[in-house]
Structure 1
Amino acid sequence: MTSATVGLSRHILAHARRGPRPKVAPGRRTPTRVASRRRGAVNESVGAGHSVPPWADDDTRQHLQVLVEGVATLAGFEQSAITLLRGDAYEVVVAAGVPDGFAGTRVPLETMAVEMANADEWGVWRFVPHDRIGDEVLEYSHIPDVVPLEGPDAWHPLDMLFAPLLDDGGQMRGFLSVDTPRDGRLPGPDQLAVLTQYAGVASTLVLLALERENLAERVRIADEAREIVRRALGEPSLDLVVEACRSTLVSCFGAVGMWLTAFDAGGGTSTTSHSVGSGYVEPPFSEIDDVVIRLARRYWSDQYVAHFSHARSVQPGLPSGDAERLLAFLDRIGIGSVLFVPLGAGPECLGFLVLTRVSDTPAWTTTERLAARDIGRDLGQAVANARQIERERAVADRLRRLDGYRMEMVNTLGHELRTPLFSMTANLELLDVDALSDEDRLSVAAANRGAARMQAVIEDLLAMAQVADPLREFVPEQVDLRRVLLDVAEECHAGASAKSQVCVLDVPDDPVLVSGRPEELHRMLANLASNAIKYSDHGGHIDVRLARQDDKVRVTFADAGIGISEDDQHDLFREFFRSTNPNALARPGTGLGLAIVERIARRHSGRVEVTSELGRGTTASVTLPGLLAVSPPARP
C-alpha cells in the first residue's frame, strides 16, 4: 500500500473513531478553503495599502488558470485554486469553480502556519479535518451552500485539502488547494494519485513563473544600466587621477610629498600618497583619520585651507589634544609643516589633500593657500567623478554576473522544460479523443492550448536569451533579405488565409543584400508578420514592402488592425510587456515578440520604428544597413 493510501486509511479511521459528523441543513453557509471574500479584513492583517502585483504579464496567469481548471475537472472537485507567497502574505492568484473576484485575496502567513501544523500528511498533500480547523482561517473563507453526506468517508464542508509548493531549497512558495469533491467523499487512492501528479505540475509551473517574473525584473534592470556601464568603462580611477597630477602638485608648491584621502559612499576612506625620493614607506594615516576627517568636512563648508605646524597648531575646530596628536604623528614621519586642503563638489566634502614640507621654512604663502583652495575644488570634482566611476564599475561587474546568470538560467529552464513538455503533448496526442465524453474532450483541448502556450513561451525565452547575450559570438554573412521575406510570407500564408486576410507583398525583382545572421533576420521578420496577422481582424488588409533607401534597406508591415494606444507604445520593446487594450489581451502572446525584434535589429546595426493609432492600425518598419551585390570569394 502506498504512503498516500496509508495516510488516507489512517484519516478514515480517525474519522470513524470520532463519530459521525454533524449534518448541515440546506441553506446553511459553511466555509471552503479555496479563497476569501473578506478582502478588507485580510488587508488589515497584512498591512494597509500593501499590494504585490500577481504577475508581470497575463500569460503566466493564463497558464496557471489552465492548470487549476484541469485539477477541478479531471480530479473530480468543484473548486481549485493556487495561492502563492507574495510579500508578507499568501495571495490567491488563480481559482476555478468559485465566484469572480477571488484572485488577489490575501491571507496572513500565520494563519496558514496554524493550518500546516494541524494537517495530516497524505503524500505531497496536506489534509486538515473539520474538527481541527482554526477559527481564524474561517475569516478568510468563501462560504458555499452545501449538504454533507453521511458516513465516515464523507467530505465535510470544513475539510481542507492542499499541496504545499516548495522550491529547490524546501521553502514553501505557495500551495495548490481543492475543495468540494463531486462525489461528496474523501479522495481514494486513485483520485489521490491524480492529485499528486497535478501537484507536481503545479510546483514546476509555479517555480518557472516565479523565476520568469524574477528574470523579467532582472532584465529590466540590466537594460536601464547598460548605457551607463558602457560610459563608465575606460574612465580613470582615483589612483590614475592622483598619478596624473601628483608630480605637478608637489613641484609647484615646493613640497616633499603629499597624500590624498577620498571618502566613499559607505562612510569609509581610501588613501593614496606620493613622496619625492626613494625608500618612501607610506605612514599609517589611519592613526589620525578621526581628527582630519572631521576637520575636512568643517573646512570644506568654510572653504578654509589650514597651514599647520608647531608654530601654527591653533586652528579653527581643532582641540589642543588633537593638535598634539597631529604634531606627534608628523614628527614621527619627518614632516615639519603641512597645507591641509579640503576637497569637495557642491555642498559635499569628498576628502582632503595634504601637501608636506620638511620644515616650516619657507612658510606657505597666501597665494599658495588660495591656489591650493582652487585646486581642491578641481580635485574634488575629479574625486567625485572617480567615485562615481568606481560605483558604476561595481554595477557593471554585478550586471555582467547577473546577465550571465540570467542567460544560463533561461537556457537551462528552456531546455529542461522542453523534454517534459514534449512528453505531455505526445501523450495528449495519443488520447482517443473520439472515445471521450464532451467534458473530457474540452479538458484535453484546454490542456493542448496550455501546452502550446508553454511551448511558445519557452521558444521565445530561448530566443530572447540568445539575441540579448552580449557574449554570444556574432559572425555576419551576406543575406538576401528579399529571399528571407518571401520565405516568411510563404510560412504565414496559412494563418492569413484562415482569417480571410489580404496580404499584398511589394518586393524588388533583384536580391536585396544585408549583412547578418539569416536565422535571426528570419525570426525578426516572422515576428512582425505574425503580429500584423494576429492583431488584424478577419478580412483585414496587410501591406508588406521591401525597399532600398540609399545605403539602407527598409522592410515595412502596415495593417489596419486594432492599433496600439499612445501610452502602450512607450513600452512596446520591453520584455513581457502586454498591451492594456482588452482586445489585444484576448489574443495569445508571450510579450517577447517585439523585444526580440528590437534586439535582433540592434545586433544588425539597425533600428525598429512603430507608428500606430488605437483602432486605426499599426505600421512597423525595420531599417538595416544595405550591402552592394558582390560575388562570393573563391574557395581556396
Structure 2
Amino acid sequence: MTHAYEEVGARTAWRAPVTHARTRPGPAEPQVHVHPDHAEWTDFSSMASLQLLTESVARMIGFEVACLSVVIGEDLVTVAYSGPEEFRDEVFQTDHVSVLDPVIAQSEAWGRFHFLAEEDRHGHFPGHWVVTSEGPARTAPVDAWRPLDCLMAFLHDDDGNLRGVLSVDSPLSERRPDATQRALLERYAAHAERSVVGAFVSAELRQQMSHADAARRAVRTASTPTRPILEVLAEVHRALVDVLGASGTWIGVLGPDGRPTTGARSRDGEPVDLPPDVADLAAAVAGRLWREQRHLVVGTDDVVPQRSWGTTAHDQRLFVRAKELLVRLRLGSLLVVPLGSGDQCVGFLALTRRANDLPWSTIEQTSAREIGHDLGAALQVATALERERRVVRELRQLDDHRTLLIATLSHELRSPLAVIRGNLEVVGELAEDPDSDPFHQAMVRGADRMQKVVDDLLLLTRVSDPRHPLVCVPVDLRAVVLDVVSLVETQADAKQISLHVGLPSQRALVPGDAVELDRLVGNLVSNAVKYSNEGGSVSVTLEHVAHQVVLTVTDTGLGISEEDQQGLFRAFFRSSNPDAQRRPGTGLGLSIVASVAERHGGTIEVDSTLGHGTTFTVRLPAEGP
C-alpha cells in the first residue's frame, strides 16, 4: 500500500460475467444493505440516502451498475449498490484497503474518476472483484466497453483523506466515456463526494456524542456526594478505558502545593509506579492547559509537536520530555486533558495507549476534553466534600477531647468539693465566734455554686455524648412538674411571684430518662422565677396535643433580645442584658434543656421580647398506648 493511502481506502467492484438484458432501472424504494461488521457506522437514514444517491448517479450518467464503498479503519466497506441482485452478496464482501494499490498504480486519472482499461491491466488483483458484462462483439468499435474495464471515483475530505470510492460498470451506451461524459461523471462524483464526507461527519458526531454521553453518565454516577474521592476515581477509570480505549489512566488531583496527590492506573485498575519527574511534568502543564483551554497529544512517532502544542521554547522542551517519558514507559501515545471548573484547575486527565494501538482521533480528543469539564466539576465537588469531611472529623475529635476534658475535670472536682462541703458543715457546727458566720456562709455558697457547675457539666457531657445511649422508661411528666413546682415555690414566694400551674387530670407519660427530664423541667421553671422581677408571674402548663406532650413555661420577666436568642442554647451562654448578667447562673441550664429535648426526640422553641417576658415551649413524643 502506498504512503498516500496508509490511513484511508475504498471499495471497488468489477462484476462477474453474466448474460442479462440491459434495461434502465425504474424507480424503486432504496434497498438498504447494512454490513454486519459495521452496522453502527451510520444511521439508517444516512444509509438510505447513500443508496438513493448511488442509484441516482448510475441512472443520470448512464451506467447500469454502481457501487459506493467507504473507508472504515483499514476496511473497504460497501454501503450502497445498484445493479443485478445476483451480485449483491459478493459486492458486500469486505476487503482490505490494499486492494486499491494496483488500480491506483495502473489507472489513468480523469479528475476524481480513474479509468483502468482492460488492455492496460497487468498482474494479480487481490480482493473481491465482480465482472458484470460480456465481451464486445468482433465488430464492436475500438471504444467499446470491455468486461475488465474499471472506472471508479476516489472521494476525499477537505484534508485530502480518501473517504470512499464510487465505481460504475456496464454503460448503457456500451462504450467507454468520451470527453462530454467525463465532465458529467466529474460533476456527479463531486456530489457523491460531498454526500460521503457528510455521512462521515454525521457518524463522527454521533460517535463523539455517544462517547461523551457515556463518560458523562459514568462521571455523574460515580460522583455522588457520599463517595470518597478515591472511590470516584476508580469508578471513572473503568468508564474511561472502556469508552475511549485507553491502556491506562492518570486522573491527577492537584494538592495545595500544585502537585498531583493521586496516582496512575493500568487498564485493569492496578496502581502504576511513575518516575518522580513525571509529577513535575504533569504539574507544569495542568494549570497552563486549563487557562488556555487546550489539551496535548504526543506520540513516540511524532517528529514535531502536533497542532495541540504551543510554539514556545517551553512547549518544545515539554514535548521532548513527554516523548522521552513515553519511550521509558514503553507507551505509544499520550493524551492530556486539564480538569477544572470556572477559573480553577483541579487536576488533569492523562490517557495512554500502547505502541501498536491506533492514534488518538479528533473525535476522541474532543470527547476527552468535554469529559474533562464534567470530571473537573465533579472532582471539585468531591474535593470540597473531602475537605469538609476532614474538618468535621477534626471538629468531632476536638469535641470528643473537650467532652473528655470536661468530664475528667468534673469528676476530679467532685471529691475535693465533697471534702470542702463536709468540713464546712463541721466548721459551722463548731464555730463559736458569731463574727465568723458571714465568712462561713460565703464559703458554703461558693462551694454549693461550684458543686452545681460540676453537676451541670457532668449532665451536659452525658446528654451531649452520642455514645451514651438513652435508656427509655415511661416517665409521668405531670408528676415531674408537680415536684419541680414544689421546690421553686419558696423562691417564688420570696419574690412575691405568682406561680400558676395548669396540668391534665391524667398522667402525661413520655418515654425517657427520669433524671434528665426532671432537670429539663427544673431548669425552665427555676429560670422563669429567677429572671422575673418581684411581683411578676410564672405560668407552667402541660397538655396532650395529638401524639405529643407539650410543656409551656411563661414568665413576665426581663425578656430576651433577638440577638441573644440566636445563641441561647449554647453552653456557657450569658445574656448581653446587664440586668440578666447580675443574676447568678452557670450558662449551662438552657444548653442542658435543649440537649435533653433533642435526645428525647423533642423540640424546644422560644418566644420572647426584650422587657416583656419569655415563653419556652417543649414538645416531647408521648408514650404509646
Q: TM-score, normalised by structure 1?
A: 0.59
Q: Which among 352, 369, 375 is matched to residue 371 of structure 2? A: 375
Q: Secondary structure at the residue paired with 2:553? A: strand
Match of 1:255 among 246, 257, 262: 246
The offset of 1:455, in angstroms, is 1.4
Whole-Å Cα distance in 2 between the matches of residues 270 and 489 of structure 1? 63
Residue 480 of structure 1 and its aligned partner are, at CA, apart by 2.1
Aligned residue among 318, 323, 330 for 1:322: 318
The aligned amino acid for 2:488 is C
Answer whether contact 1:305 1:372 (CA < 8 A) is retained. no
Match status 1:313 vs 2:305? yes
What residue identity is the alignment partner of 1:486? L
Partner of 1:297: 287
- The answer to whether the 8 Å contact 2:264/2:273 transfers is no
User: Paired residue for 2:276?
Assistant: 286
SS in 2 for 1:561: coil
The structure having more radius of gyration, on CA atoms, is: 2
* Counterparts in 2 of 1:473 and 1:256: CA distance versus 1, 3 Å: same
What amino acid does structure 2 have at the position aligned with 1:436? D
In structure 2, the gaps of 5 or more residues are 1-222
Looking at structure 1, the residues matched to 479 and 350 of structure 2 have their Cα atoms a distance apart, in angstroms, of 70
2:478 alignment partner in structure 1: 482
The structural deviation recorded for 1:582 is: 1.4
Report the 3-state secondary structure (helix = DSSP H, G, I; strand = E; otherwise coil) of the residue aligned with 1:413: helix
CA distance in 2: counterparts of 1:410 and 1:250, whole angstroms = 54
For the aligned residue pairs, the C-alpha RMSD in angstroms reads: 2.3
- Pairing of 1:380-459 with structure 2 (within 5 A): 380-432=376-428, 435-436=432-433, 438=435, 440-459=436-455
Deviation at 1:427, TM superposition (A): 2.3
Could you say which residue in structure 2 is the equivalent of 1:541? 537
Paired position in structure 2 for 1:45: none
Q: 1:536 to 1:233 in 2, by over 3 A?
A: farther
Cα separation, partners in 2 of 1:277 and 1:349, compared to 1, 3 Å: closer
Residue in 1 aligned with 2:596? 600
CA contact (8 A) 1:403 1:469 kept: no
Deviations 1:520-547 (A, max 9, x none): 1111111101101111122321111111
Rounded to whole Å, the distance in 2 between the matches of 1:268 and 1:491 is: 66
Contact 1:309 1:360 in 2 (8 A): no
Bigger shift: residues 482-491 or 339-348: 482-491
| Contact 2:249/2:265 (8 A) holds in 1 | yes
How far off is 1:386 after superposition?
A: 2.3
Is contact 2:247–2:266 with CA below 8 Å preserved after alignment? yes
Q: Could you tell me how far apart the structure 1 residues matched to 2:405 and 2:442 are?
A: 28
Q: How high is the TM-score relative to the length of structure 2?
A: 0.60
User: Are 1:503 and 1:542, in contact at CA under 8 Å, matched by a contact in 2?
Assistant: yes
> How many residues end up aligned between the 2 structures?
396
Shift of 1:589: 0.2
- 2:225·2:385 contact (CA, 8 Å) conserved in 1? no
* SS of match in other structure, 1:431: helix
Return the alpha-carbon distance in structure 1 between the equivalents of residues 588 and 418 of structure 2: 22
What corresponds to 1:591 in structure 2? 587
CA separation of 1:432 and 1:470: change in aligned 2, threshold 3 A: closer
Tell me which residue corresponds to 2:458.
462
Closer, same or farther in 2 for the Cα pair 1:448/1:497, shift >3 Å? same
Does the CA-based 8 Å contact 1:340-1:353 persist in structure 2? Answer: yes
Aligned to 2:350: 354
**1 CA distance for matches of 2:445 and 2:366?**
77
- Distance of aligned partners of 1:262 and 1:361 in 2 relative to their CA distance in 1, 3 Å threshold: same
The answer (yes or no) to whether the contact 2:341–2:380 under 8 Å persists in 1 is yes
Report the AA paired with residue 226 of structure 2: E
Shift of 1:272: 3.4
Q: Confirm or deny: 8 A CA contact 2:249 2:267 kept in the other structure.
A: no
Task: Encode CA deviations 1:131-172: one digit per residue, 9 max, x unaligned.
Answer: xxxxxxxxxxxxxxxxxxxxxxxxxxxxxxxxxxxxxxxxxx
d(CA) in 2 for partners of 1:277, 1:294: 28
Q: Of residues 230, 236, 256 in structure 1, which corresponds to 2:227?
A: 236
Report the alpha carbon displacement of residue 448 of structure 1 after superposing the two structures with TM: 2.3
CA contact (8 A) 1:568 1:579 kept: yes
Does 1 or 2 have the higher relative contact order (CA < 8 Å, sep 6+)? Answer: 1
Contact kept, 8 Å, 2:460 with 2:592, in 1: the verdict is yes
The 1:330–1:626 alpha-carbon spacing in structure 2 relative to 1, beyond 3 Å, is same
Equivalent residues of 2:263, 2:271 under 8 A apart:
no
Aligned to 1:78: none
Letter in 2 for 1:618: T
CA 1:448 to 1:488, structure 2 compared with 1: closer, same or farther past 3 Å? same
Question: Residues 65-144 of structure 1 correspond to what in structure 2 (within 5 A)?
Answer: none
Q: In structure 2, what is the Cα distance between the partners aligned to 1:485 and 1:266?
A: 61
Aligned counterparts, 1:614-629, within 5 A: 614-629=610-625
Residue identity opposite 1:254 in structure 2: G
Instruction: Classify the secondary structure of the residue corresponding to 2:501.
Output: strand
Structure 1: which 5+ runs fail to align?
1-231, 630-636
User: Quick check: 1:264–1:387 contact (8 Å CA) kept in 2?
Assistant: no
Distance change (3 Å), C-alpha of 1:289 and 1:376: same
- Secondary structure of 2:373's partner? helix
What is the match of residue 135 of structure 1? none
What letter matches 2:354 in structure 1? V
- Matches of 1:309 and 1:247, distance apart in 2: 23
Q: Tell me the secondary structure at the aligned position of residue 298 of structure 2.
A: strand
Q: Equivalents in 1 of 2:287, 2:591: separation in Å?
A: 48
- Single out whichever of 284-293 and 233-242 deviates more from structure 2: 233-242
Q: In structure 2, what residue type is equivalent to 1:247?
A: R
CA contact (8 A) 1:336 1:358 kept: yes
